[in-house]
A and B are shown apart, each in its own frame.
Chain A
């Protein structure tokens, strides 16, 4: 009972924070210079990690799907199938997991520390709104850098698949040629939409968890932990919801799948 009350409160708080930030953005309150600085702070430093992980994810997908296709003698479909699965599901989810670890932990710990050391209270008393001053630029920085990193990550993943195809004896050219036969523009749309939604989730959850930290370093620890769990849960949940929506679209309008 106590737990579900807390959960509802935290869910409501996140939605409220999201709406507040949207409204501040429409009022033109975003300090874009600070956003760009923050993108360098959190985004650029995650590039290496995203690329490394992306290459391996691509390779894993190619390897796994190849094993299964071999049973049917359908290896010529490897390029299309592995790219499609990567783009639509595995890629966005895995890369979002990585980013939620890196960007999410950084942001929630930073904001949590600012809260428990009263930096946010000091900002309020000196006449500024911490949501506008601190949170808003961070939200946008995390959304934008997550989105860009996801896109970069996805491209690298596809590249990883191509490279690994050669290793497992599938001709790279035929692998690439097979991609457009299965991957449509809808796969790409779904992939981009997922990347954007995951970026927003990571940003809002991480900022909210940090901002609502209370009670010293123990409180910051709890906030970072809760941030990690919440990020993972919501990424999975939204991956499911978006995939469901995509399949409904396919049933209704004949678009959206494979």
Chain B
């Protein structure tokens, strides 16, 4: 369970998140929607302790996220996997080394011979051509890079999976693969996932629950079926796919 409690975060004089509270229950697939720039990426980075909040607290699996305490923070991070908004692949390493990175760094595989099958398995999971194994990230298309980035995170089998706009910039086939993957993770592995997105179609297809953020506040928190009938102006905008410039 991830519990976010009364989180406030400003950059300089700009208040980005204003007293945000929510929780992601075990095995739940939670989608957080909001327009570009509302602080969705910031929220995910707060959860894994890459940045510190001004106020409030966050706990992951009962453990407090404390950026001042590197040892505890490392424990929290071991349970989490974050797929960044942009691929963030090590560009001096091959696709194989990128996907194997977390397995090695976290010491998850004792027998080095077992790393390769795990890497192949993840490549198949994200529908990535295994001929890319020894390519470098800059030789790959953006979509393929993003798939590598997802495979790299899945490889460490995290209990909590955080996705930052996984479908943004993806083609329709890759989006469908990803939506299937999200459903499968929930069905088979009971992974708790938080997906930050503005892809309302994916959200309605995969989410157990939806949260909508606007101007630093949560303006909607509920199931997809309630979202479809919500009167919140931003919910209507998202449903109709238009911004009325409000």
Interface residues of A (CB under 8 A from B): 114, 117-119, 121-128, 133
Residue ID in chain A nearest B149 by CB atoms: A122
Summed over the interface, the residue pairs from A and B with CB atoms below 8 Å come to a total of 48
B219 interfacial by beta-carbon distance below 8 Å = no
Q: Please determine whether B88 and A122 come into contact, CB atoms closer than 8 angstroms.
A: yes
Chain B residues lying within 8 Å of A133, measured Cβ to Cβ, are 105
Chain B residues lying within 8 Å of A123, measured Cβ to Cβ, are 90, 101, 105
C-alpha spacing A118/B152, complex, angstroms: 14
Q: Please determine whether B90 and A127 come into contact, CB atoms closer than 8 angstroms.
A: no
22 contacts between A and B (CB under 8 A): A114-B91, A117-B86, A117-B88, A118-B88, A119-B88, A119-B90, A119-B91, A121-B45, A121-B84, A121-B88, A122-B152, A123-B101, A124-B50, A125-B48, A125-B50, A125-B77, A125-B80, A125-B81, A125-B82, A126-B152, A126-B156, A127-B74
Among A114, A119, A126, point to the contact of B105 (Cβ < 8 A).
A126
With A119-B91, A121-B50 as known contacts, state yes or no: A128 contacts B101, CB within 8 Å: yes
Chain B residues lying within 8 Å of A124, measured Cβ to Cβ, are 50, 77
Chain B residues lying within 8 Å of A122, measured Cβ to Cβ, are 84, 88-90, 149, 152
Residue ID in chain A nearest B108 by CB atoms: A127
B246 interfacial by beta-carbon distance below 8 Å = no
B106 interfacial by beta-carbon distance below 8 Å = yes
Report B91-128 CB contacts with A as 1/0, cut-off 8 Å. 10000000001100110000000000000000000000
CB distance from A53 to the nearest CB of B (A): 28
Chain A residues lying within 8 Å of B74, measured Cβ to Cβ, are 127
With A119-B91, A121-B50 as known contacts, state yes or no: A127 contacts B86, CB within 8 Å: no
B183 interfacial by beta-carbon distance below 8 Å = no
Q: Please determine whether B88 and A127 come into contact, CB atoms closer than 8 angstroms.
A: no
Q: Please determine whether B106 and A126 come into contact, CB atoms closer than 8 angstroms.
A: yes
Q: Top 10 nearest A-B pairs by Cβ distance?
A: A126-B102, A128-B105, A127-B106, A118-B88, A127-B105, A122-B88, A118-B84, A126-B105, A119-B88, A125-B82
CB distance from B16 to the nearest CB of A (A): 16
Residue ID in chain B nearest A122 by CB atoms: B88
CB distance from B144 to the nearest CB of A (A): 16
Residue ID in chain B nearest A118 by CB atoms: B88
B78 interfacial by beta-carbon distance below 8 Å = yes
C-alpha spacing A13/B208, complex, angstroms: 45
Residue ID in chain B nearest A110 by CB atoms: B92
Chain A residues lying within 8 Å of B105, measured Cβ to Cβ, are 123, 126-128, 133
C-alpha spacing A117/B88, complex, angstroms: 6
